Amino acid sequence: MRLGLVGYGAGGRLFHAPYIRAVPEIDLVGVVTRSPDRRRDVAADLPDVAVFDSLGDLLDAGVDAVTITTPPDTRRDLVLEAVRRGVHVVADKPFAPDAAGGRELAAAADGAGVLLSVFHNRRWDTDLETVRRILPRLGEVWRVESRFDLDEPGSLDAGPSGGLLRDLGAHMVDQVLTVFGPAVSVTAHLDQIDQPEGRTDCGFTVAIAHRDGVHSTVSASKINHVSARQWRIYGSAGAYVSDGTDVQTDQIKQGRRPADDLDNWGYERPDRLGTLHTADGVVAVPSAQGRYDEFYRQFAAAVDRQGPQPVPARDGIATLEVLDAARDSAIDGATVRL
């Protein structure tokens, strides 16, 4: 599959290109960026990959699919441009500002007969893969807490189209919907700050009642100078507690790349393993392997009609519906039913 990458900021450089390059079924043939600094980054990281000034130029060169990883306020028009040219699309999250916008893009892709996948790569997080593995040992799951604090004030997307809820919140909500099922109600609080671009949410707590009876809470912050990645899962047979790390992101920032050693990629540090608490005592739980490249492997197979999409647009819309409800809940101070 010939794939083009639109945008080469932190997202394109750290979260897309390394994992695309780890999939033999994909040939990364072009990057779209006009920034001189970004062009230098592409030349250093991907010396065999062409650079284009616009999505149109990339499409004219010939690709089967594109990944759109530009800022949220530019994403809609670029997705629609690619779809209208008959090209399959991976859209970074949030793939639309709200659920209505997501439905518009999904309808356009369906009408054009192309695939539209949402880059919820954190379905393949190391800690989430470990959670999936341990769930059968917890009996009936009652309550779930997922916390993700980042000490990254400078990376907060500001203004009405930004905010932490739409950014990290999209991943965290998608994770609990994927594992614990659809939401029936949402109650939320947003921390807000004033920035030159406008009022911006910089932290959140979102409580979700799931259709099957599980109650989950996801929370995050970005400007409070604390870092943590935690799970607490309570069930009829015990509990699972995890205070781990952002494994694959940390590895990328250390200069490692998945294509160099996939067999040893994406495992939690031995000193940060989660623990299972039952009547039999407390035991450490071995780390599952996290593999963001699996998103692109599944996407390539779907383009080749050899399997389902990794995250179809309908899943992205379900996440956006929860995020919409969370914003309404925070404004009105009330629970929103879906």
pLDDT above 90 covers what percent of the chain?
95
Strand partners, 234: 143, 239
Kindly report the number of other CB atoms within 10 A of residue 235's CB atom.
20
Q: How far apart are the first and last CA of the chain?
A: 38
Nearest to 313 by CA among 174, 117, 175, 114: 117
What pLDDT does 159 receive? 84
pLDDT tens per residue across span 187-203: 999 999 998 889 999 99
**What's residue 158's pLDDT?**
87
User: CA-based angle 172:206:239, to the nearest 5?
Assistant: 70
Superfamily in which the 2-121+297-307 domain is placed by CATH: NAD(P)-binding Rossmann-like Domain (3.40.50.720)
- Quote the pTM value: 0.96
Supply the mean pLDDT for the chain: 96
Q: Residue 337: what pLDDT?
A: 98
Q: How confident is the model at residue 157 (pLDDT cuts 50, 70, 90)?
A: confident
Q: Residue 259: its pLDDT value, please? A: 95
Q: Please say if the pLDDT value at position 319 is more than 90.
A: yes
Residue 139 scores a pLDDT above 90: yes
Q: Please spell the DSSP secondary structure of 92-161, one letter per residue.
A: PSSSSSSHHHHHHHHHHHHHHT--EEE--GGGG-HHHHHHHHHGGGG-SEEEEEEEEE---GGGPPPSTT
Q: pLDDT, tens digit, for every residue of 38-81?
A: 999 999 999 999 999 999 999 999 999 999 999 888 899 999 99
- For residue 58, the model assigns a pLDDT of 98
Sign of CA dihedral 153, 154, 159, 161: negative
Residue 327, pLDDT score: 97
* pLDDT at position 301 over 90: yes
Residue 211: per-residue pLDDT: 98
Question: How far is C-alpha 216 from the geometric centre of its chain's CA atoms?
Answer: 18
Residue 72: its pLDDT value, please? 81
**Does the pLDDT at position 160 exceed 90?**
no
pLDDT given at position 317: 98
Distance CA 79, CA 247 (A): 30
Domain ranges of the chain: 2-121+297-307, 122-290+320-337
Average pLDDT of the segment spanning 217-230: 97
Q: Per residue in 112-135, pLDDT tens?
A: 999 999 999 999 999 999 999 999
**How far is it, in rounded angstroms, from Cα 83 to Cα 80?**
5
Instruction: State the CATH architecture for 122-290+320-337.
Output: 2-Layer Sandwich (3.30)
